[in-house]
Amino acid sequence: MNAIGRKMENKLTNLLKIKYPIIQGGMVWCCGWQLASAVSNNGGLGLLGAGSMTPELLREHIIKCKAATDKPFGVNVPLIYHEIEGIMKVIMEEGVKVVFSSAGNPKTWTQQLKDHGIIVVHVVSSSKFARKAEEAGVDAIVAEGFEAGGHNGKEETTTMTLIPQVRKATGLPLIAAGGIATGAGLLAAMSLGADGVQIGTRFALSEESSASSPFKKRCTELQEGDTFLALKKLSPTRLVKNPFFDKVKEAEDRGASAEELLQLLGRGRSKLGIFEGDLTEGELEIGQIASLIDRIEPVETIMKQIADEYNHSLSLLQKI
Q: Applying CB under 8 A, which residues contact its own copies?
A: 1-10, 20-21, 126-128, 145-147, 154-162, 164-165, 168, 178-180, 182-193, 224-225, 228-229, 233, 253-256, 288-289, 291-292, 307, 310-320
**Residues paired with residue 229 on neighbouring β-strands, in sequence order:** 238
> In the complex, what is the shortest distance from the CB of residue 239 to its own copies, in angstroms, rounded to a whole number?
13
Residue 310, helix vs strand vs coil: helix
Q: What is the 3-state secondary structure (H, E, C) of 67-103?
A: HHCCCCEEEEEECCCCCHHHHHHHHHHCCCCEEEEEC
Adjacency order of strands within the sheet including 150-151: 150-151, 237-240, 227-230
> In the complex, what is the shortest distance from the CB of residue 62 to its own copies, in angstroms, rounded to a whole number?
29
The residue among 131 and 271 lying less far from its own copies, judged by its C-beta, is 131
DSSP 123-159: EESSHHHHHHHHHTT-SEEEEE-TTSSEE--SS---H
> In the complex, what is the shortest distance from the CB of residue 162 to its own copies, in angstroms, rounded to a whole number?
8
The residue among 3 and 117 lying less far from its own copies, judged by its C-beta, is 3
Is residue 131 within 8 A of residue 167, CB to CB? The reply is no
> In the complex, what is the shortest distance from the CB of residue 37 to its own copies, in angstroms, rounded to a whole number?
21
The residue among 4 and 70 lying less far from its own copies, judged by its C-beta, is 4
> In the complex, what is the shortest distance from the CB of residue 302 to its own copies, in angstroms, rounded to a whole number?
14
Half-sphere exposure (Cβ direction) of 95: Cα atoms closer than 13 Å: 4
| All residues at 6 or more sequence positions from 63 whose CB lies less than 8 Å from its CB, including other chains | 94
> In the complex, what is the shortest distance from the CB of residue 189 to its own copies, in angstroms, rounded to a whole number?
7
**Residues paired with residue 100 on neighbouring β-strands, in sequence order:** 76, 121
Is residue 287 within 8 A of residue 179, CB to CB? The reply is yes
The residue among 17 and 89 lying less far from its own copies, judged by its C-beta, is 17
The residue among 115 and 224 lying less far from its own copies, judged by its C-beta, is 224
> From CA 295, how far away is CA 23, in angstroms rounded?
20
> In the complex, what is the shortest distance from the CB of residue 61 to its own copies, in angstroms, rounded to a whole number?
28
> In the complex, what is the shortest distance from the CB of residue 187 to its own copies, in angstroms, rounded to a whole number?
4
The residue among 177 and 211 lying less far from its own copies, judged by its C-beta, is 177
The residue among 119 and 162 lying less far from its own copies, judged by its C-beta, is 162
> From CA 278, how far away is CA 294, in angstroms rounded?
20
> From CA 96, how far away is CA 77, in angstroms rounded?
12
DSSP code, position 273: I
- Residue 89 is which amino acid? K
Residue 168, helix vs strand vs coil: helix
The residue among 213 and 315 lying less far from its own copies, judged by its C-beta, is 315
